[in-house]
Amino acid sequence: MSVIEYDVIIIGAGVAGLTAGAWLSGQGLKVALVTAGEPTACLSTGCIDVCAKSDDPLQGIAHLPNDHPFHLVSSGTIRQALDDFQQIMAAMDMPYTGGLENNRRVLSAIGTFKTTCLTPVTMQASPQNGNERIHIITFAGLKDFYPGYIISRFKNASFSTYDAGVSTTMGIAANFEDDAFLEAFILWLEKQHNREDKIAVPAVLGLESAAAIIKQIEYRLERPVFEIPTIPPSMPGRRLFNGLKDHFRRKGGMIYWGWPVVGVEKTGRQIEAVMAQSQGRPNSLNARAFILATGSFVGGGLEAKRDTIVEKVFHLPVFVPGEREAWFDQDYFSMNHGIGRAGIAVDSSFRPTDCLWDNIFVCGAILAHTEALKNGCGHGFAIATGQAAAKSCLEHIQ
């Protein structure tokens, strides 16, 4: 029994789920999104990795193995999805720089470079090689960021420390939303008389006004300023999540928090409803179609048992990369752990193969053969498959 009937229910509030949900809402459908908790996107750098295998991301995709699900998305859809994404985030005051023509580099908190495609505008000025002259600002007591790592790798880097009065990422970021705090920070920076070309700051420049804050600092110091993504709590990841979430809601989507799906109602080849154990008693939501975007192991979509891997919501058949011995490489930092290929195999319409139901679509990191780390296809893959699965879902409903 359900109180409200939706056209589509999305399971999972990550980048893939929110992209699919917002796209379907934009088509005039009644969409709800249910989620157990907040997504791993909040822990990410906020950068949109499309494919890091080559300087040209589209070319990189073309060279991915044949069974990679990226091949199911046309390059037109990938382009469209990323364009849409950039427009959405610009409207949410968190513009993204870059394009599909070529990948960019972002300086990491340990002084290495990360290859990505689109970056938040706050990382636009991130150096592209180790010779650039940068001055790093860190904050007294902030234990999640050590400029020493970067300085050991950069010949022309120096640092100074600002006392923000608080020493946590969240606390400092919240303070930056206050104009007086920002002004004091800028005045202090001016007094430092830095001669370096660029100023680097760990990613704590505000909760949602980061783009405006960085612009103001750049204007006053007359030189580029950029954020360096930190370990969680990661502000750029949270801004990405907030932007996509607010956009989904503005399009008319409804979000159900604290909704781990514990049961499914089915008739014949249709899934009718998903059920959650909410406070007190089970609650169910009906829909005509469902999109599964629960992510892989960390996101909570997949669970590894001793000898098998299960998909937690619908118990869909999971592609398991051989026996348990084949799941892991001997080298911990290897990119070839077999487990990275586990997931749901889908056909060209993003329906799971060998599936008993017709009205379910799958997108994002839970797809089999993704190998997100190895191929450097993270949020970009989620955005592309999110939109592609949503298109299939719309065709199905019509």
Partner 1 sequence: MSYEHCIRCTICVENCPVFRVNPAFPGPKQAGPDAQRFRSDREKSADEWVLLCSQCKRCEMACPCGVEPAQIILRAQQKYGLEHPHTAAHLLFANNYYLSTLGSLTAPLANRFAATKIGKKIFQRMGIATYIPFPKFSFKTLRGTMKSRSRETRKVAFFYGCFINFYRPDIGRKIIRMLQSFKIDVVLPPQWCCGLPALGNGNLALARSFAGKNVASLSNYVDAGYDIVYTCTSCGLCLLHDYQGIMEIPGAKKIAENSYDLHEYVLKLIAETEIKPPFKEVNRTLAYHIPCHLRALEIGYPAANLMQLIPGLTCRILDDNCCGLNGSYGFKKINEVTALQLGGRVVSLIKKTGAEAIVADCGSCRMQLAGLSGMDAFDPVEILCESLGIKDKK
User: Which residues are near partner 1 by CB under 8 A?
Assistant: 1-4, 32, 36-40, 42-43, 165-168, 170-171, 174, 177, 232-233, 238, 242, 249, 254-260, 276, 278-281, 283, 299-300
CA distances from 373 to 32, 39, 122, 289, 334 (A): 30, 17, 24, 30, 10
CB 192 within 8 A of CB 160: yes
User: Least CB distance from residue 40 to partner 1, whole Å?
Assistant: 7
Strand 2-11 with 31-34, pairing? parallel
- Nearest-approach distance from CB 217 to partner 1, in angstroms: 21
Q: Vertex 227, ends 143 and 170: CA angle to 5°? A: 45
- Kindly provide the residue ranges of all beta strands, DSSP E only, lying in 191-335, ordered along the sequence: 198-202, 225-228, 254-256, 261-267, 270-277, 282-292, 302-304, 309-311
Q: Residue 17 is encoded by which pair of tokens?
A: 């789920």
Residue 135 or 251 having the CB closest to partner 1: 251
- By beta-carbon proximity to partner 1, the closer residue of 178 and 190 is 178
| Residue 238 vs 341, nearer CB to partner 1 | 238
Closer to partner 1 by Cβ: residue 156 or 242:
242
Q: Closer to partner 1 at the Cβ: 2 or 158?
A: 2
CB of 321 to partner 1, least distance (A): 23
In sequence order, which residues have a C-beta less than 8 Å from that of residue 267 and are 6 or more positions away?
none
Q: Choose among 290, 312, 285: nearest CA to 361.
A: 290
How near is the Cβ of 339 to partner 1 at its closest, in Å? 17
Of the candidates 104, 184, 116, 171, the one whose C-alpha atom is nearest the C-alpha of residue 144 is 171
Query: How many angstroms separate the Cα of 1 from the Cα of each of 4, 14, 162, 292?
Result: 9, 27, 57, 21
**Residue 119 or 234: which CB sits closer to partner 1?**
234
Q: Which of 396, 357, 394, 397 is nearest to 23 (CA)?
A: 394
Continuous segment of H or E residues that includes residue 23: helix 15-26
Shortest distance, position 111 Cβ to partner 1, whole Å: 23
Q: CA-to-CA distance for 19 and 91, rounded, in angstroms?
A: 15
Least Å distance, CB 374 to partner 1, is 22
Closer by beta carbon to partner 1, 42 or else 365 = 42
Please give the radius of gyration of the chain, using alpha carbons only, rounded to the nearest integer.
22
Closest contact distance (angstroms) between CB of 7 and partner 1 is 14
- Give the nearest distance from C-beta 43 to partner 1 in angstroms: 6
- State which residue, 37 or 65, has the beta carbon closest to partner 1: 37
CA distance 221 to 156: 19
